Amino acid sequence: MSVNADRLLLFGATGDLAQRMLLPSLCALDADGLLEPDLKIVGTARSEMTSQEYRDWARTALEKNLPDHRRSGVDSFLGRLSYVPVDATTLDGYDELAKEVGTYDKGLAIFLSTAPSLFEPTIDGLVHAGLTEGNVRIGLEKPLGTDLASSEEINNAVAKAFSEDRIFRIDHYLGKETVQNLLALRFANLLFEPVWNATYIDHVQITVAETIGLESRVAYYDDSGALRDMVQNHMLQLLALVAMEPPTSFDSTAVRDEKVKVLRALRPIAKGETVTGQYRAGAVDGAAVPGYDEELGKPSDTETFVALKAHVDNWRWKGVPFYLRTGKRLPERVTEIVIQFRCIPHSIFEGRGASTKPNRLVIGIQPEENVQLSMMAKVPGLDREGIRLRQVPLDIAMPDAFSGTVRRIAYERLLLDLIEGDQTLFVRRDEVEAQWEWIDAIRALWDREEITPKPYGAGSWGPSAAIALAERDGVTWHDE
């Protein structure tokens, strides 16, 4: 049984994530009485600032990033904050930091949201200052490396000071309510599990489409690309949740054991199963936008779009393709999972002129949070000219079904779980490494076969080759 930490130490406390997500999430949790009264939050980053200056900075960030109705508790939340500047690359500031953290009778939760190159020196600094002793856990924000080797290096560095049960690797998609709902859908209903296999499912599609472009992340994104930025983590976690066997319980070991089996069963991608793209100038939401290379200011071979046809090589999924695609500057922001069922084995309506379409389950992760099952129904009428059947949706909009409940953003859930020590929604080392192994093989294939990104217009669904990737199998991407 883990004990709630009474100290939270934030590295990268002046960064973009802290500003947009971490501080607003913590403030919202506080306003709802979900943080222990004695929880103190110490921020640290390179910038020279006093605690008062940090609180002023945090107030501005909160005013900008918290909706009006959630700002009531800002003053008392700011009272929890203090700040110590530390240059993470030297050991100098860590003693001061430890002094500010003080004694943590119940526990210390550390959150690292810094460049991965700072992970190792930060761990050294924490060890030096005695901040790894006792009930201490550490949350690590992505990117956790750029390939298997660099990820192992980071994992080894962290493992020097923290055992795996104290390491909380963040994939913020796991903190999303709708992603967790996938587990409820699959394992709290009798209906789906018996048909959740190759006998009844034709294929699966997972789309994570974004309308945004490079934003201000030039340095990071051009070294990363869509495969590492989105597929390695978020999309593979979604795939694992869709494909895994039922865990025996909702606990961190059982759930992660099942996910890792799926990740290890991924078949290496073959040459014809991958398409990459890079956006050119175009229009998104009616506004003209420049191409990737123009935003970057130089030509680049980095992919801003990837489509893959993946396979999970096990009994359940034999012969069922998982089509994955993600990209920037696509026509709409949508994350969804489509489970396309097979045709019925025999139609009793065929002789009466009616055709049937196979069932389809669409799980909307964002921005629409809904579950939609397409079913065949009879069109009302006397049927003198034959029976007519039509596909109709059985539609559950989650916000309507749960109106009156608070919809929390992913980091609220994940920060609270870190403070309370629940690892279920965090990624275990073996998962990350299995993910990288599969991704590295794709990058090696691209290099070997000289596969470079094909251009696509901003505001389109990626290069036409991505459409062909599915259409060759008689599959149409679920664009609406």
- Which residues contact ligand BG6 (rule: CB under 6 A)? 210, 229
Phi and psi at 283, nearest 5°, equal -135, 135
- Residue of 351, 376, 372 whose CA lies nearest to 363: 372
Bridge partners (DSSP) of residue 376 are: 391
In terms of CB distance, is 229 or 336 closer to ligand BG6? 229
In terms of CB distance, is 17 or 419 closer to ligand BG6? 17
Report d(CA 199, CA 217) in Å as an integer: 44
CB of 146 to ligand BG6, least distance (A): 13
What angle in degrees, to the nearest 10, is found between the helix axes of 23-31 and 410-420?
Answer: 70
Q: Tell me, what amino acid is at 231?
A: V
C-alpha 393: how far from chain center: 27
For strand 201-209 and strand 334-341, is the pairing parallel, antiparallel, or unpaired? antiparallel
CB of 223 to ligand BG6, least distance (A): 12
> Within 38-118, where are the H helices?
51-65, 74-78, 94-101
Sequence-ordered list of residues with C-beta below 8 angstroms from that of 92, at least 6 positions apart, any chain: 86
Query: Of the residues 172, 203, 234, 311, which is catalytic?
Result: 234
Report d(CA 247, CA 422) in Å as an integer: 17
Nearest to ligand BG6 by Cβ — which residue? 229
In terms of CB distance, is 210 or 273 closer to ligand BG6? 210
Query: What number of other Cβ atoms are within 10 A of residue 323's Cβ?
Result: 23
In terms of CB distance, is 64 or 160 closer to ligand BG6? 64
In terms of CB distance, is 93 or 290 closer to ligand BG6? 290
CB of 306 to ligand BG6, least distance (A): 12
| Cα Rg of the chain (Å, integer) | 24
In the structure encoding, which two tokens stand for residue 164, read together?
């795996």
Q: Tell me, what amino acid is at 475?
A: V
Distances (CA, A) of 461 to 46, 223, 232: 41, 23, 21
CB of 312 to ligand BG6, least distance (A): 23
In terms of CB distance, is 30 or 229 closer to ligand BG6? 229
CB of 432 to ligand BG6, least distance (A): 14
Phi and psi at 67, nearest 5°, equal -65, 150
In terms of CB distance, is 87 or 177 closer to ligand BG6? 177
Bridge partners (DSSP) of residue 427 are: 169
Contact criterion met (CB below 8 Å) for 421 and 5 = yes
Report d(CA 419, CA 405) in Å as an integer: 23
Q: Tell me, what amino acid is at 240?
A: A
Q: Is 203 a catalytic residue?
A: no
CB of 479 to ligand BG6, least distance (A): 18
In the structure encoding, which two tokens stand for residue 250, read together?
């909702």
CB of 173 to ligand BG6, least distance (A): 7
The residues annotated with a catalytic role in the active site are 234
